[in-house]
Amino acid sequence: MTDTRNDDLNAGGTSNGDRQREAKTEPRSQVKIVIPADHSMVSLLGSGDELLHVIEREFDADIHVRGNEITATGTTAETALITAFFDELVELLSKGTDLTADAVERAAAMLRAERGVRPADVLTVGILSARGRTIRPKTLNQKRYADAIDQHTIVFAIGPAGTGKTYLAMAKAVKALQAKQVNRIILTRPAVEAGERLGFLPGTLYEKIDPYLRPLYDALHDMLDPDSIPRLMAAGTIEIAPLAYMRGRSQPVATPVLTPDGFRPIGSLAVGDLVIGSDGKPTPVLGVYPQGEKDIFRVTTQDGASTLASADHLWAVATRDDRRRGKPLRVLTTREMIGNLRANHYHRYELPLHSAPVRFPYQEVPMDPYALGLLLGDGCLTGSTTPSFATGDPELAYELKRLLPGIEVRPRQGVNYMLSQLTSPWSTTALVENPVTGASRRLGLYGSRSTTKFVPDLYLYNSHKVRLAVLQGLLDTDGGPVTQRNRTCRVQYSTTSPRLRDDVIFLVRSLGGVAYTSVRLAAGRTPGFAKGNPVYNRHDAYIVDIRLPEGVEPFRLTRKRDTYNAAGGGGRPMRFIESIEPAGTAEAVCISVAAADSLYTTEDFLLTHNTLNDSFIILDEAQNTSAEQMKMFLTRLGFGSRVVVTGDVTQVDLPSGQVSGLRVVQDILDGVEDIHFARLTSHDVVRHRLVGKIVDAYERYDAQGRQAQLDRGSRPVRRKGS
């Protein structure tokens, strides 16, 4: 701190500052400020008194320097301000800040404009140290803006050119990446100068977009080693793209997406529709964005599941190292994974599975689901005879008797049981249809044989308890546990019906498991024997190997359940990306959903998403977005991400009559929790001092024009002949 002495003066004096007061009768005072000996006066006042001249212009006082003592003469208020000002300059020097004419002017302006604000607390805040210099806020509003980025998920920075909106946001983004608070930086801006019809411009994609994104590149080169930037961009750690290309994370319009009512084409979805999230529960669609014709790839997993997606479609994946270190899922595009799917002979990218069974609404069924599973496995529903059941486990025959009201399970020769209708010997009523036959008719199973059996949709798209009961019936008859030493237990199921094979896979995946399928061809297979006679295989057999998550019990039959549990259960089902192959082009669409992890279920129960998790996202020049584009961009926000939107609403380049999305969003989101609007003014311009004056001049001119329009509109209309 400086030492000061204050003396009242009777005589008035004149000021050398720009703000000289004309009231010479105002009381005058004099202060003497002693600068500590450990501070250089050259550092304080500049070479050749350069900074002293700036200070004299800023204050209405006579300022004289002798040695390390500064004398200021002026009004009491002005000399008090000068004393505080030199305290701030000394504080800045003690914190290692090099004083410049710009810093001196800003410190003086802050002291005049804001009570209780110390310039030293603003001008010494370091956001990022990069390439031998420290990036700091230069005005109080800039500091408040930088603090808001730390404190809020979404920040809108609105103000004129030159106020550091984008530059400070970029510094915050690089800092967050270096601190591993985010996994990637995504920089985007609308390219309205080309009408976003970049496909009609010559050159590659990057040659087309480069002119529109050059300011973002320039800021990056100020903050990162230029040699590292291409490497970070190639790895997807930094992504720079026009706003139009951010929407390209899409799937073909015919791609199935799972809803509570079953699979629907993604192109038929609308805002407000429900889709199934990773927790198995419905989540609403927040946005639907048509994409036009896109290059499409087929993404296939090692268990045979597959779906179609664009090159920029997003996938939440985990690597082996990620799981070992307890890291969250990383988000990669289809393009980023192509050619990088294997590492040391194992799959590199693991996709998440549903954390809980899919929740379809419960529907009344005409037959108990477990009983249906048993009959689909070892029952005879051909219609040519009374329904029957074959099993070597009397426990299953007892369960059928218990679960099928009005049915008597009668033992026949060997392992066969007849499912007869219960009748009374005193009954005189006409014969009625066997309940099992009647139910099979209603379900479309009447007359089906081993090669044509299937699980009716009423059971497939039912509650998870119904689906599990059907699967248990199928596995208790035609499935079983497969044990291996020092490994958890898998389940194997076989059938000669290709449709029933697909239905079992559906049930397993809907419960959070994985299923692998293979075929045993009938031709060439060794025949079996019955009563000493060979029995040749007439149909191909489909084998399904199943892994179910912990808590999903595949068996009710005691002997199979005990074997399964003794082997430690099914372990942890896993699904890895096996291949990514080009699949031509197609009309595409993308959606965003409200789920916290942004995941939704596409075909084969694959989980994918279209939002940006663990990212620092900057939308620059946002005044040139439409209202629809702004909504699209904001609904891309994913878990663990931050968004900064910057723009100047006085420099809109949109077509005439189109409202800026940055204007609209202020009315819609102002006051929403965790969203902040930082408003910068001409006083925050950090370019040449003339820029701020130009901004002020234009604002005055626009205000005068608006007032003139109001005046003309308020004049009485002079009627002809009056």
Contacts 24+ apart (CB under 8 A), 228-235: 235/336
SS3 content of the chain, % helix, strand, coil (to 5): 35, 25, 40
The pLDDT value given to residue 172:
92
Element (H, E) at 627: helix 627-634
308 DSSP β-pair partners: 298
Alpha-helical (H) ranges within 312-382 are 320-324, 334-337, 369-378
Q: How confident is the model at residue 424 (pLDDT cuts 50, 70, 90)?
A: low
Is residue 432's pLDDT more than 50?
yes
Residue-wise pLDDT tens digits, 627-651:
888 887 887 776 678 999 999 988 8
Coil, helix or strand for 328?
A: coil
Place of tokens 């350069």: 50
CA angle 354, 519, 572 (to 5 degrees): 25
The pLDDT value given to residue 190:
82
Place of tokens 């003086």: 108
639 DSSP β-pair partners: none
Distance CA 611, CA 169 (A): 20
Q: Which of 288, 259, 283 lies closest to 271, judged by CA?
A: 288
Relative to beta strand 262-265, strand 541-547 is: unpaired
Q: Which of 343, 353, 299 lies closest to 320, judged by CA?
A: 343
- Whether residue 259 contacts residue 270, with contact meaning beta carbons closer than 8 Å, is answered with no
Q: What is the DSSP letter of 164?
A: -
Name 227's Cβ contacts closer than 8 Å, sequence gap at least 6: none
Coil, helix or strand for 580?
A: strand
Coil, helix or strand for 320?
A: helix
Q: Which of 291, 330, 286 lies closest to 311, judged by CA?
A: 291
What are the structural domains of the chain? Answer: 3-124 (no CATH), 140-245+614-684 (3.40.50.300), 250-353+576-609 (2.170.16.10), 369-425+432-573 (3.10.28.10)
Structure tokens at 678: 């930082």
Distance CA 449, CA 447 (A): 7
CB atoms within 10 A of CB 609: 27
Residue-wise pLDDT tens digits, 234-289:
777 888 776 765 655 789 999 999 999 999 999 999 999 999 999 999 999 987 88
Stronger pLDDT, 654 or 116, i.e. the higher one: 654
276 DSSP β-pair partners: 282
Residue 216: CA count within 13 A, CB half-sphere: 26
CB atoms within 10 A of CB 532: 5
What's the average model confidence in pLDDT over 692-716? 68
- Provide DSSP, 224-266: S-TTHHHHHHHTTSEEEEEHHHHTT--EETT-EEEETTEEEEG
CB atoms within 10 A of CB 704: 10
Provide the angle, in degrees to the nearest 10, between the axes of the packed helices 165-178 and 140-151. Answer: 40
The pLDDT value given to residue 192:
53
CA angle 208, 210, 211 (to 5 degrees): 95
Name 650's Cβ contacts closer than 8 Å, sequence gap at least 6: 160, 698, 699, 702
The pLDDT value given to residue 3:
56
Distance CA 85, CA 98 (A): 16
What's the average model confidence in pLDDT over 470-492? 92
Q: Which of 87, 140, 338 lies closest to 234, judged by CA?
A: 338
Q: Which of 547, 538, 488, 546 lies closest to 518, judged by CA?
A: 546
Coil, helix or strand for 481?
A: strand
Q: Which of 509, 590, 577 lies closest to 296, judged by CA?
A: 590
Residue-wise pLDDT tens digits, 108-151:
888 777 666 777 777 777 788 876 678 888 888 888 899 999 99
CB atoms within 10 A of CB 234: 10
The pLDDT value given to residue 208:
46
Secondary structure of 514-567 as H, E, C letters:
EEEEEEECCCCCCCEEECCEEECCCCCEEEEEEECCCCCCCCCCHHHHHHHHHC
Q: Which of 330, 306, 327, 326 lies closest to 316, judged by CA?
A: 330
Residue-wise pLDDT tens digits, 368-404:
999 999 999 999 998 888 999 999 999 999 999 999 9
Kindly report the backbone phi and psi dihedral angles of residue 559, in degrees, each rounded to the nearest multiple of 5, phi listed first.
Answer: -65, -35
The pLDDT value given to residue 16:
45
Relative to beta strand 575-593, strand 599-602 is: unpaired
Structure tokens at 112: 């005049």
pTM, entire model: 0.68
What's the average model confidence in pLDDT over 437-451? 94
Is residue 15's pLDDT more than 50?
no
Question: What residue type is 206 in one-letter code?
Answer: Y
Distance CA 192, CA 210 (A): 14
Residue 690 burial (CB < 10 Å; 0-12/13-18/19+)?
Answer: exposed
Is residue 457's pLDDT more than 80?
yes
Residue-wise pLDDT tens digits, 18-58:
444 444 556 788 888 888 877 778 888 888 888 888 888 88
Q: What is the DSSP letter of 327?
A: P
Q: How confident is the model at residue 530 (pLDDT cuts 50, 70, 90)?
A: confident
Rounded to the nearest 10°, the torsion over CA 718, 719, 721, 722 is -60
Stronger pLDDT, 574 or 8, i.e. the higher one: 574
Question: What residue type is 76 in one-letter code?
Answer: T
| pLDDT over 70 percentage in the chain | 85
